[in-house]
Structure formats: C-alpha cells, structure tokens
Structure 1
Amino acid sequence: MTTIFDERQCKLGEGPLWHPERQQLFWFDVLNKKLMSRENGTAKSWEFDEYVSAAGWVSKTELLIASASKLFLFNLDTKTSMKLCDMEADNRVTRSNDGRADPKGGFWIGTMGIEAEAGAGSIYRFYKGELRKLFSGITITNAICFAPDGNKAYFSDTDTQNIQQLMLDDQGWPTGTPKLFVDLTGDNLNPDGAVVDSEGYLWNAQWGANRVARYSPEGQFVEEISFPAKQISCPAFGGAELQTLFATSAAVDLSGVDEGKTFFAQTGTRGQLEHRIIL
C-alpha cells in the first residue's frame, strides 16, 4: 500500500535522498528551483536561482547539489552555498538531471536539454575535486545507481527505453563499454530514476506508468509497486530500517489531485545506505 509522504505538488519532483545521519528525506522540485524536505513533521523548502535536481550528502549539515551550471556545497543550517566546480556553465541549453553518490565516494550526475533536446546531455563523475565527463550524446539522463558490491553502475537514456549496466574499477571509474541490462521498448515503458537495494535488485521509476518496477541482478522483472500519480520520477530507500521506498512524481502537463506529490510504501526489502561524498 502506498501513502502520501508530502502533499505539496511538485511540477517536477526528482532526486529523493535519504540522509542517513539526519534520518531525513530531501528531494527537489526541479522546475520550481527548490530543494524540499520534511523535518519533525514540518514541511521545509529552500529556493535557488537556477534549476537544481540531485544531491548527495557530505556531512550532517552539508549536501553536494547539482544545478544547471555547477556543483556546489549547501549548508542546511546556515543556508549558504559554496561552488565546487562549473558544469556546462557555458551551455544555456542544458541543466542537471539525475544523479547519485557512488560506493567510492564519487558523485555521478547527468545533464539534459531543458527542452529535452536530442543528444544534448552527458554523464559526469565528480571524484576528489575533479569533474570528468564519462558519456555524451544522451537525451534524458536517468537511472544512475550502483550495485552494493561497488563493481557495477547503471544508467539510462530515457529516450532509448533501455537501462544500461557498466563495470567499474577499484576507484569507481568505468571500464569497458556499457551493455544492455533491461530493454523496455517492447512494453513501451520509459525508465526514469532508479536505486539498487542491498540484494542487488534495481528499482526503476517508470514515467507515465504509475509505478516503480523491481528487476533482478540479471535484469528480469520481479515485481512492481503502483502509485496514484502517473509520472513517478525517482525512488529512494529510507526509514530506520531502510525498508521504506519513497518516490517522487511530477505534475507537469497533468491535473490529477495526486500528481506531483511525494509517496512512500513499506517493503520487505532493505535498501543501501546512501554513500557519503568524499570531497
């Protein structure tokens, strides 16, 4: 059974992050340029001057946040920001989209065209102060997540309706070329954000399908959790036992009462702790 976690309707809810030290969920309303949360039952938000879409945790008070033009450190207590590096700052066509910290302390972040321009996006990794481009020519970057053994990464170009798997070296850098993990073209499904649980199963939000679907480490469909919002955008595990699956959604182009809200469902599966970013 799914339950509403936050009633606020996001135009484009994205990037849920369970902060393990704060025991608190953060997420974004990308198109309204907001970071959102709930603390002790109270709704909170922080507004920025450009699109923000994804984050990782650095300390109890600091998040690394990806915006349209940079990666920056944001202090939740003082509400102050410090730029870490530019990211496509000279490209007015793109913004950040999906991202997640990896098991080695790096942060992967994808970009995309603001109007989903074909092939405008890339995927980067920020690791120990260096931002390096990994892939380019992507239309809608999504599904960035990591196997618990730290040896595999996943990502998607939603436009292709495929999820790719990639091997990693002992420093967390890609080795070889991506290979097909899940092909959703036959079912006409659109992969959005994803997370991997502690057993190595991938949970993928599927835009337009009201669901998060679970796939085995071999890429086989196992089960789904259905939600009342059509455009489910990204899942995250959290809660005291990491068995609560949170999911963001988007109200853009829709008028339903539940569209854009943030949900949760209890599962019998334990997620992974979100990895800490090492600056």
Structure 2
Amino acid sequence: MTEQVPTSVLSDHPCHLGEGPTYDATTDTAWWFDIREGLLFEAQLGSGGIRVHTLGRMASALGRIDAERHLIVAEDGLYVRKLADGVMTLLCPLEADNPTTRSNDARVHQSGTFWIGTMGRKAEPGAGAIYAFHRGKISLLFPRISIPNSICFSPDGAIGYFADSARAVLYSVPLNPATGLPRGEPEVLLRHTGIGGLDGSVCDADGQIWNACWGASRIDVYSPQGERLRSLRVPAKQASCPAFVGPDLSRLLVTSAWQDMDAAARAADPQAGKTFLLEASARGRAEPDVKLA
C-alpha cells in the first residue's frame, strides 16, 4: 500500500527535469536543479522565499564546500560557485571532450569524496559512468553505465549504493569509510519490477534507502537488505530525487519532471515538475561537505 502523508508544494515552478536536491542545515536552505533548463533553485524553508539562478549550462548536483562556496556538478566539469555573487569557476573538466554526455546523479560521501554520474544526453546505452572526486582528482569507478542514479551511502560510510536505471538494478558496493572509495566489486541489491523505475535515492540514519520511483508517483523505502518497507505517494508521476530537510531532517523534499511528456500527458499530470515537501517522519541525516583536497 502507498501511504498518503501530509504533502505541500514547495515550488510550483514546473521543472523540465528537476533533480539533485540537497539541504544545508546551517542555513535552513534547500537547493535543487532543473537540469535541462540550466537552473539552480534556492529555497529558504523558514521564510518560504525561493530564488532561481541561471547557470548558463546544464548542471545536476552540488556539494557544500563551506559557508561561502558550492561545488557544482555540470555537463562539462566541476565548478566552484560563490554564493555571494554566483560566479562559477571551473575546477576540473569531466567528459568535457564528449558532447554525447552530461552529468546526472551525484552525492557526497561522509569522507568528503564526491561520487558523480554521467550519462548520454539521449540516454545512449552504456555511454555514462560513475566517478569519484577525491583529494582534488577525478577517478573512474564504474564505466558503461546507461543512466546512473541512486548514489547514496550507508550511515557508517562502509557501503555505497548506485543504480543503472536502464537495467532496473540497484547495486551495493563495500567502501573504505575513510576515503569513500570501493574496496570490492558491486553486487546486485535488488531488481526493480512493476510500474516505474529507480531514480534518485538518499540514505537515512538507520541505513534505509529512500528511492524516487520514476513513473509511479511514489517514494519507496528499502532496507539495507533490499526489502521494500514502505511507499509514500508523490503528487507527480515522475518523481526524480529525495532529500531530507528541516531542523530535525524529518521532512522529505522531492523533485519531479515533465520530461518526455506530451500535451495530453502533462494535462493528466498537472503537478509534473513541481517540488514537494512530504511530512515523512523520517530519521534523516545531514549532507556532508565536499573536500577539495
């Protein structure tokens, strides 16, 4: 059964491809992207104020460096963005010489290492990969990924998760908790069946995996063993990624998208692309800062 928890619209801006939400607990600020339109959203949850920043390029995720800077994951590389004026400076390129690909799902490990996924702009099979930005350098972790998603980490940092949405598989991989780098090979944790598909995920304080089920209007919560524990309804069909927000990190911010919908599909799904807050009673965790070196 899918639970109906109290839900509100945080932003009624219909994102073409809403993605990459994160939350800065020090400022009570949520951030997320519209990948296709090159937009970055900034929401002060206490006041309800929302600002939209035009980035000039596709971007999909960010990590907090410190109170003044973010590391932005963009279609051609990693950029340091100053919050004060929005100026972006290229730190290092990533597949910048490959016009076929762009960035997609990403998340920061407790060690400060940033896992970053890339994919084909038209979801070309095997065109993408998952990388690690660690100690100022980018290294390839997993090649030939079609649609990288669900990058997240267990509370102790000893397990990493990622999905290839095209294969409908969520993988787990043992990690060195001190570095966020693999110390073994990925293993299949679960194979998604039924309506929808695996999209973005986040791990809570109990190690449960909260996954946006694209195409099914819901968030699915899985145990570390891959058992589905609960499902929460989302008011848009194409839920794309969750993030824990709020002073106690019990609420769930969920992005969505109208990508690939024709006029009839959008009329049937009027909330598509909006960004939601679910009163999920979660035991969330704060996102760690990314380390540049």
Contact 2:76 2:93 in 1 (8 A): yes
> Are 1:273 and 2:280 matched, yes or no?
no
Contact 1:97 1:142 in 2 (8 A): yes
Distance in 2, matches of 1:79 and 1:171, equals 30
Of 9, 12, 35 in structure 2, the residue corresponding to residue 30 of structure 1 is 35
Contact 2:150 2:163 in 1 (8 A): yes
Q: CA RMSD in A?
A: 1.0
Q: Report the counterpart of residue 202 of structure 1 in structure 2.
A: 209
Of 73, 76, 98 in structure 1, the residue corresponding to residue 80 of structure 2 is 73
Q: Report the counterpart of residue 221 of structure 1 in structure 2.
A: 228
Q: Report the counterpart of residue 110 of structure 1 in structure 2.
A: 117
Question: How many angstroms does 1:187 deviate by?
Answer: 2.1
Question: How many angstroms does 1:22 deviate by?
Answer: 1.6
The gaps in structure 2 that reach 5 residues or longer are 1-5
- What is the TM-score when the length of structure 2 is the normalising length? 0.93
Distance in 1, matches of 2:270 and 2:226, equals 34
Of 153, 158, 171 in structure 2, the residue corresponding to residue 151 of structure 1 is 158
Q: Deviations over 1:112-148 (max 9, x none)?
A: 0001011000001101201111011011010000000
Q: Percent identical across equivalent pairs?
A: 38
> Are 1:8 and 2:13 matched, yes or no?
yes
Q: Report the counterpart of residue 181 of structure 1 in structure 2.
A: 189
> Are 1:248 and 2:255 matched, yes or no?
yes
Q: Report the counterpart of residue 165 of structure 1 in structure 2.
A: 172
Question: How many angstroms does 1:73 deviate by?
Answer: 0.7
Contact 1:161 1:189 in 2 (8 A): no
Question: How many angstroms does 1:261 deviate by?
Answer: 0.2
Contact 2:219 2:231 in 1 (8 A): yes
Distance in 1, matches of 2:135 and 2:183, equals 19
Question: How many angstroms does 1:42 deviate by?
Answer: 2.1
Q: Deviations over 1:19-50 (max 9, x none)?
A: 12221100000000011122332221111222
Q: Report the counterpart of residue 21 of structure 1 in structure 2.
A: 26
Q: Report the counterpart of residue 41 of structure 1 in structure 2.
A: 48
Question: How many angstroms does 1:267 deviate by?
Answer: 2.1
Question: How many angstroms does 1:209 deviate by?
Answer: 0.5
What is the DSSP-based 3-state SS (H/G/I as helix, E as strand, rest coil) of the residue aligned with 1:31? coil
> Are 1:94 and 2:107 matched, yes or no?
no
Q: Deviations over 1:87-123 (max 9, x none)?
A: 0000000000000100100111100000101100000
Which stretches of structure 1, 4 residues or more, deviate above 4 A after TM superposition?
Answer: none
Distance in 2, matches of 1:49 and 1:80, equals 11
Contact 1:163 1:182 in 2 (8 A): yes
Distance in 2, matches of 1:2 and 1:86, equals 39
Aligned length: 278
Distance in 2, matches of 1:115 and 1:278, equals 31
Question: How many angstroms does 1:276 deviate by?
Answer: 0.7
The gaps in structure 1 that reach 5 residues or longer are none
Q: Report the counterpart of residue 257 of structure 1 in structure 2.
A: 270
Distance in 1, matches of 2:171 and 2:196, equals 15
What is the DSSP-based 3-state SS (H/G/I as helix, E as strand, rest coil) of the residue aligned with 1:58? strand
What is the DSSP-based 3-state SS (H/G/I as helix, E as strand, rest coil) of the residue aligned with 1:134? strand
Of 131, 146, 155 in structure 1, the residue corresponding to residue 138 of structure 2 is 131
Q: Deviations over 1:45-73 (max 9, x none)?
A: 11122210011111122111111100011
Distance in 1, matches of 2:283 and 2:65, equals 22
One-letter identity of the residue aligned with 2:249: L
Contact 2:113 2:179 in 1 (8 A): no
Distance in 2, matches of 1:216 and 1:156, equals 15
Question: How many angstroms does 1:188 deviate by?
Answer: 4.7
